[in-house]
A and B are shown apart, each in its own frame.
Chain A
Amino acid sequence: QVQLQQSGAELAKPGSSVKISCKASGYTFTSYYISWIKQTTGQGLEYIGYINTGSGGTNYNEKFKGKATLTVDKSSSTAFMQLSSLTPDDSAVYYCARIRGTLDYWGQGVMVTVSS
């Protein structure tokens, strides 16, 4: 069965970076793009961008350019998102999701808390 397993919760200091992972299983990893979504109580769901898991090509929401960097490791069927120069506004739950027309499978989410 298709699964997207994300890494664990992160507690980070302002100005630092975090890198969260999304390991896919149960399907051919390079056949589908992976999208990343931010969820906060105040802003709801926000689309960060997606990565072509075959070529590594990326597409970012303008709002997250410079904030998020998406990469993949095809050998381990894992997608990564690095968030840099963290501020309290980056505190949120971050999801990865497979794109198949719609977002058809989601990871369990990673809570990132930015606090000094």
Chain B
Amino acid sequence: DGGITQSPKYLFRKEGQNVTLSCEQNLNHDAMYWYRQDPGQGLRLIYYSQIVNDFQKGDIAEGYSVSREKKESFPLTVTSAQKNPTAFYLCASGTGFAMNTEAFFGQGTRLTVV
């Protein structure tokens, strides 16, 4: 089945630890995005990538890092510099170079930092 897979679904980490969230897609999409969702705040863009080996900061990139070594994969690292990392993280992909095309979302990862 074609789709976008995020793992794990739930993740718990101690404060001060870096953590990497996985995102894999087999839709052959060029564009991939990471969003953060907090209650009542909608979706906020963390990073996006429109092509392999290239990525751009979104609106809230501080404390996060990404890589795009393969077209299928766009992992997100939440570093200890992120002040409030507990949130629901959503990865998405889209066709074409433009970001205004339909976005396909993964199931999301709920990160809790204690």
Q: Do A and B come from one complex?
A: no
Interface residues of B (CB under 8 A from A): none
Interface residues of A (CB under 8 A from B): none
